[in-house]
Amino acid sequence: MGTSGQRQGRAGRPHSPPHDLRACGVTTERRGNRVLKAILWDMDGVVADTEEAHLLAWRQFLAEQGRSVTAEQFATTFGMANPAILRQWFGDALRAEDIHSWSARKEALFRTFVPTHVRALPGAREWLRWGRERGYRQAIASSGEMANIVAVVAALEIGNQFDALVSGAFLPRSKPDPAVFLQGAAALGVAPEECLVVEDGIVGVEAARRAGMRCLALTTTHPAEKLAGADLIVHDLNALSEELVDALFA
């Protein structure tokens, strides 16, 4: 799982860290001893590159409403649940029935793009296998609808790596509320402090902090300075190592 200037270990196993972590874009913060028992994976921007599929779906949906969205506007909402996104773009007076029907329409559009516009992000398959081999419980904990999670997991053929799939789409509050991560921990039968959250979103990092969980943040969507609340920040999963993960719980 090497990145530029780094070597991949044998059989695709996570590699040892370079001597100068900061030179490779790695930021670490040590916060005391815990025991890692479970990994909660955000899906979009962490396990799967779904950004283009979501952007295309939102653009088609908004065009049907006589509106448009720029890539920059879309990026500020990435990782949020649809009700929060729709209220941000259409106002708090939006009717509940419109939120429900419009969300369903947008997600149906998204799923049409999954086969052609979604791929596993670099290092995701290898680290999912690593977590399984280590005996950690693993779950997807995403703001996306369950139908989307199932569609992406099936398309990437990674379903056997997970013990649970958790959707926050219909929870009362979206990230940065910690509910989806707390549900993930409950589904895996572990305490929040025994979980590592892998995130790429600003609101997701904050949700992990509020849940009392360690957080590994990837700069696949946002720059490192916007993810400063995370315990560990790396460019992507190819910049990660077993030693760095272990150090979070040492």
List the domain boundaries for the chain: 22-49+119-248, 51-117
Grouped pLDDT means (10 residues each) for the chain, 250 residues: 33 40 43 85 96 95 96 84 91 94 96 97 98 98 94 98 95 93 98 98 96 97 95 97 96
State the pLDDT at residue 34.
86
Contacts of 128 (CB under 8 A, 6+ apart): 41, 47, 138, 158, 161
Q: Give this prediction's pTM.
A: 0.80
d(CA 40, CA 150): 16
d(CA 76, CA 30): 29
What residue type is assigned to position 37 of the chain?
Answer: K
Contacts of 200 (CB under 8 A, 6+ apart): 42, 44, 45, 46, 79, 217, 218, 219, 220, 221, 222, 227
State the pLDDT at residue 208.
98
d(CA 51, CA 71): 10
- Taking the C-alpha atoms of 157, 160, 164 and 170 in order, what is their torsion angle to the nearest 10 degrees? 10
Are 89 and 69 spatial neighbours (Cβ–Cβ below 8 Å)? yes
Contacts of 160 (CB under 8 A, 6+ apart): 132
Give the H/E segment covering residue 153: helix 146-156
Buried b (16+ CB within 10 A) or exposed e, 108-142: ebbbebbeebbebbbbbbbbbbbbbeeebbbbbbb
Are 64 and 43 spatial neighbours (Cβ–Cβ below 8 Å)? no
CATH topology of domain 22-49+119-248: Rossmann fold (3.40.50)
